Structure 1
Amino acid sequence: MTKPLIGVTTYLDQARWGVWNMPAALLPAQYPRLVQASGGLAAMLPPDEPSAAARVVARLDALVVAGGADVEPVRYGAAPDPRTGPPARARDAWELALVEAALSSGTPLLGICRGMQLLNVALGGTLIQHLDGHVEAVGVIGRHAVKPVPGTRYASLVPELTSVPTYHHQAVDRLGEGLAPSAYAEDGTVEAIELAEPAWALGVQWHPEMGEDLRVMRGLVTAAAGA
């Protein structure tokens, strides 16, 4: 059986390796490892011209929008908070175009952290630009519990209260059109969002690639195989 091809978006940043120090398309290795462990083939999608997004998505069986920089507040009509990080405009433009192409074509979509926030923004939602308690320390992945909403797609994948790897200081505020919350943190923060069936579009605020639980990614890979 052919494994589904899962595109994963990447950073575009200055990087050093060996004798080199130059711009690079970067993706933590945990992302492709999670795709591979879940039964998919991983393909990196560095920022490109937004006009190419539909053609790229047409070649994929599913799309993962990875974590990274804060979404630029202008994308959801807000002024930047002093604690919002510097913009990654090329990523914003490219990944929003990919999300829109995936939604238009019915391609299964998983947004991780920043990717969940972009899914919300793409559908007209807004973000909380800063909240405390979801980052253990700079550069340290923490953990906290998330509770699924019964009857949702996420709950069908992970039906119980679960401790998840987390590292974020922003979150969903007003939900985008058609989105529903499918998991919450103990403090009430929306931790997962999804579109109603038949679309397969799910966003999680945590970082499944930093843990051992494959169920969310396996759900995406299964949807990709069925599509």
Structure 2
Amino acid sequence: MTDTADTTDTVGETGTAGPGRPLIGVSTYLEPGARWGVWELEAALLPARYPRLVQRAGGLAALLPPDAPRRAAATVARLDGLVIAGGPDVEPVRYGAEPDPRTGPPARARDAWELALIEAALAARVPLLGICRGMQLLNVALGGTLVQHLDGHAGTVGVFGTHPVTPVPGTRYAAAVPETASVPAYHHQAVGRLGSGLLASAHASDGTIEAVEPPPAAHWVLGVQWHPEMGEDVRVMRALVEAATGHPAGPARTT
């Protein structure tokens, strides 16, 4: 059964609501010419469904605009958990490939920043969730490759599609979502060769890898190819929040 409950006001006794809620950083991106009111300026953007999902799952959301990669470790040190959000295609040079004609234009500053965030989270053992592009970047950060184009995993232009995803028994993802579930998706790339230390923890019906994670004994890391923020099921984000609740806060954080 899909878990859609809003836990923001109901889990205080377990430490994930109220003053002790874990701080979850979510990566954002810079876009030129954003418009609001009379203004048209460059803006740090993130669809509001991301922080809302963090909040519904019992966490506090902090938005992380692109910064110098050398600052990633200091940024991650202040967080209890990290989400790498979806977005544009990863530049193929990052995994040693020539660009396919159907691969989108590079977002080099974002690639560099988010790869640095991932590496910092892995080094500091901060719980990490990669969503769509974020899962792909996690795989690339660990030496994996991507399939640059596949059909059938997106809706029409600008509209999310849905398809079923089946968990691999015994994995971290299966512990959170034990049944085959229909998920909102919009992507044309996917994991090719798995990165070092990663295993597939969910698949689509065509065999596409839909979730990746390290072995269960490792610290909490999960990548999902779909967009949980576009649905009502909070279980993946709640699993991150619960893992982050047990992560020691950085020296600059007090609760």
Give the TM-score range, shorter chain.
over 0.9
Task: Report % sequence identity.
Answer: 74
Structure 2 CA distance for aligned equivalents of residues 83 and 134 of structure 1 = 15
Matched, 1:214 2:234: yes
2:71 to 48, 52, 59: 52
The two structures have a TM-score, normalised by structure 2, of: 0.88
How many aligned positions are there?
227
Matched, 1:204 2:224: yes
How much has 1:198 moved relative to structure 2? Answer: 2.6
The Cα offsets for residues 130-170 of structure 1, whole Å up to 9 and x where unpaired, read as 00001111100110000000000000000000000000000
Structure 2 stretches lacking a partner, 5+ long: 1-14, 248-255
The amino acid that maps onto 1:13 is E
Match of 1:42 in 2: 61
Match of 2:210 in 1: 191
Structure 2 CA distance for aligned equivalents of residues 77 and 20 of structure 1 = 40
Structure 2 CA distance for aligned equivalents of residues 122 and 38 of structure 1 = 27
Match of 2:9 in 1: none
Structure 1 stretches lacking a partner, 5+ long: none
The Cα offsets for residues 94-146 of structure 1, whole Å up to 9 and x where unpaired, read as 00000000000000000000000000000000000000001111100110000
The amino acid that maps onto 1:191 is E
The amino acid that maps onto 2:137 is L
Show structure 1 runs of 4+ deviating over 2 A.
Answer: none
SS at match of 1:97: helix
How much has 1:20 moved relative to structure 2? Answer: 1.0
Query: Greater CA radius of gyration, 1 or 2?
Result: 2
The amino acid that maps onto 1:176 is G
Structure 2 CA distance for aligned equivalents of residues 29 and 98 of structure 1 = 21
CA RMSD of aligned residues (A): 0.6
Q: 1:91-106 alignment to 2 at 5 Å?
A: 91-106=110-125
SS at match of 1:95: helix
Matched, 1:13 2:2: no
How much has 1:195 moved relative to structure 2? Answer: 1.0
